[in-house]
Amino acid sequence: MVRNMTVVLSNTCLACKQPADVFNALTVDEVEKIDCNKSSVDYKPGEIIFKQGAPANSFVCVTSGLVKLYKEHHPGSNLVIGLTKPVNYIFEPGPFVNHHHHITAVACEYTTACLIDAHVVKDLISTNPHFASEIIKKISFLTVSLFNRISSCTQKHVYGRVADTLLYLYPGIYPNNPFEIALSRQDLADMSGMTKESIIRVLKKFKEDNIIQLEGNTMQIIDREKLEFISVKG
Amino acid sequence: MVRNMTVVLSNTCLACKQPADVFNALTVDEVEKIDCNKSSVDYKPGEIIFKQGAPANSFVCVTSGLVKLYKEHHPGSNLVIGLTKPVNYIFEPGPFVNHHHHITAVACEYTTACLIDAHVVKDLISTNPHFASEIIKKISFLTVSLFNRISSCTQKHVYGRVADTLLYLYPGIYPNNPFEIALSRQDLADMSGMTKESIIRVLKKFKEDNIIQLEGNTMQIIDREKLEFISVKG
DNA sequence: TTTATTAATTGATTTATATCAATTGGTGTT
DNA sequence: AACACCAATTGATATAAATCAATTAATAAA
């Protein structure tokens, strides 16, 4: 198991300090196979990693920074599906469906990602059942969160949806509190399925009610319990 | 491959006329293993097959009838995630996540379903990589449809959402046209994320505009192109 | 430093859709 | 047949949130 390896080689998957969970299901040989078929790429904020509709030839593993995943609609109106922080794979169903991307991935900060040949990952899935099980587990977690998301966006009002977004950001994406958000108000709106004006008003209300503290892009969650209440009841 | 078997035994998976796609990845021995660990159960309309929050000990394969999958909210306000028609597995992420169901499954018509021990399916996944790949493929398709669903319910108005629901029903669920819907107006509303009053008004409008024909529960799609247009533009 | 440009904020107005209330129609029961 | 019961329908009203419009703040460029 990679987890227990003490050998550390720079710039290799084995050296990757906090390997993505699914990696743990791979043997050293298999990890090396990935090593030989990956490219590590640096992205600046705003740069596209992959684009909805484009061929899906690679699996992407985020190794530093933060990535925003969204579905494109009419220009200017996107829907943020979620964020991926290091070290995690982006579970985009494209490679298993029609070899095209169904969402767009954009770097929110300076980001490094490893692009791994999709064939290699698929080969590993068909040769290492333990790895396949881990992938299934991960996609299943994604599915559950999508169920909740659908439920959130159809049944909840703006307050509940913003509460969900904030609870998603902290501590899942930003483990510290207060934290600096690398997302614009428009991004937060796209995550919550509303307009930027609406989310600004809701955040203002939360601030007035001492649920959060907000100065520019520095946010602090003060009353998590109340957010959870609003998520369910509001 | 099961697909090519000519041996047909009544009331066994091998005999199941139109086996679920994922079955094709199994050997005859493996199908027999499932056979020995399954129960075929008959449900009346409205009966619950499994319930959100309850332990997920079985995989469910719908062999006849129609099953409605939904997430429960406040009483009377549910969100229909989708329908499963025969012969298909219900891909509920529960068994891979926390062994609890995240949605509720209810028979819409007289329905027969095979309940297969979750351990057996998981064992097959960890021993037959081809089967695991098929499962991943299926869940991936589900993920794509959930992406579209989230997108639909946050970005589209009632007309677009109802168009999506109708396009989902025909031909995916009901291959014939006209078709008899086994769903109440409330169900259709829950599928489209709106109130029953709203969907009634939208359906009335579609009828006036000669997009559909509707008499009670008998529906005919007259102008599919226009529905597709409304789905995108409306 | 001044100017230009974009993001964030605030207020006024509109609109889509939910809610509320009442009526009609169908189905089954006694 | 009369009644009760529930689903479907229709109309009137309320409201949440979008849109529109204007202002302010923040950032980049000259």
- Decide the pairing of beta strands A78-84 and A212-215: unpaired
pLDDT for residue A19: 73
CA closest to C1' of C6 belongs to A184
- Per-residue pLDDT for A9 more than 60? no
pLDDT for residue A93: 96
Of B94, B96, B151, the CB nearest to A136: B96
More confident residue, A42 or A13: A42
- Per-residue pLDDT for B14 more than 90? no
pLDDT for residue A77: 75
Which nucleotide's C1' atom has the smallest distance to the CA of A156? D16
Backbone phi, psi, residue B99, to 5°: 60, 25
pLDDT for residue B129: 93
pLDDT for residue A2: 42
What beta strand segments (E) does chain B contain?
Answer: 38-43, 48-50, 58-64, 67-72, 78-84, 88-89, 104-107, 111-117, 179-180, 212-215, 218-221
Q: Assess whether A186 (CB) lies less than 7 A from strand D.
A: no
- Choose the weakest-confidence range: A95-109, A154-168, B6-20, B101-115: B6-20
Residue of B nearest to A141 (CA): B97
Mean pLDDT of A113-118: 95
Which residues in chain A touch residue B94, judged by CB atoms under 8 angstroms apart? 140
**Percent of chain B predicted with pLDDT > 90:** 84
- Please report which residue ranges of chain A form alpha helices under DSSP H: 28-36, 94-97, 118-127, 129-155, 158-167, 185-192, 196-208, 224-233
Q: Each residue of B71-105: pLDDT tens digit? A: 998 766 789 999 999 999 999 999 999 999 999 99
- Per-residue pLDDT for B3 more than 80? no
- Per-residue pLDDT for A10 more than 70? no
Residue of A nearest to B193 (CA): A154
**Percent of chain B predicted with pLDDT > 70:** 94
B150 and A71: CB-CB below 8 Å? yes
Q: Each residue of A171-203: pLDDT tens digit? A: 999 999 999 999 999 999 999 999 999 999 999
pLDDT for residue A150: 93
Distance CA B181, CA B196 (A): 15
Distance CA A166, CA B9 (A): 55
pLDDT for residue A76: 67
Residue B10 pLDDT class (50, 70, 90 cuts): low
Question: Chain A residues with CB-CB distance to B under 8 A?
Answer: 71, 73, 77, 79, 81, 91, 93, 96-97, 102-103, 122, 125-130, 132-133, 135-137, 139-144, 146-147, 149-151, 153-155, 193
Q: Nearest C-alpha of chain A: how many angstroms from B130?
A: 6
Q: Is B41 left (phi over 0), alpha (psi -120 to 50) or beta?
A: beta
Amino acid at B71: K
* CB pairs A-B closer than 8 Å: 123
Residue A1 pLDDT class (50, 70, 90 cuts): very low
- Per-residue pLDDT for B63 more than 90? yes
Mean pLDDT of B141-164: 95
Q: Which of residues 169-198 of B touch strand D (CB under 7 A)?
A: 184-186, 196-197
- Per-residue pLDDT for A74 more than 90? no
A48 closest CA partner among A23, A78, A19: A78
Q: Each residue of A99-115: pLDDT tens digit? A: 999 999 999 999 999 99
Distance CA A226, CA A188 (A): 19
Mean pLDDT of A85-111: 95
pLDDT for residue B234: 73
Residue A224 pLDDT class (50, 70, 90 cuts): very high
Distance CA A64, CA A112 (A): 5
Residue of A nearest to B76 (CA): A155
- Choose the weakest-confidence range: A17-31, A102-116, A145-159, B181-195: A17-31
> If DSSP codes are grouped into helix, strand and coil, which group holds residue B43?
strand
Q: Assess whether A44 (CB) lies less than 7 A from strand D.
A: no
Please work out, in degrees rounded to the nearest 5, the angle formed at the alpha carbon of residue B199 by the alpha carbons of B194 and B204. Answer: 165
Question: Chain B residues with CB-CB distance to A under 8 A?
Answer: 71, 73, 77, 79, 81, 91, 93-94, 96-97, 102-103, 122, 125-130, 132-133, 135-137, 139-144, 146-147, 149-151, 153-155, 193
A195 closest CA partner among A166, A142, A151, A158: A158
More confident residue, A75 or B58: B58
pLDDT for residue B133: 95
- Provide the total of helices (H) and of strands (E) in chain A, helices listed first: 8, 11
- Contact in structure between A43 and A111 (CB atoms under 8 Å): yes
Q: How far is C-alpha A101 from the chain's CA centre?
A: 15
* pTM score, whole prediction: 0.92
The integer distance in angstroms from the CA atom of B117 to the C1' atom of D7 is 38
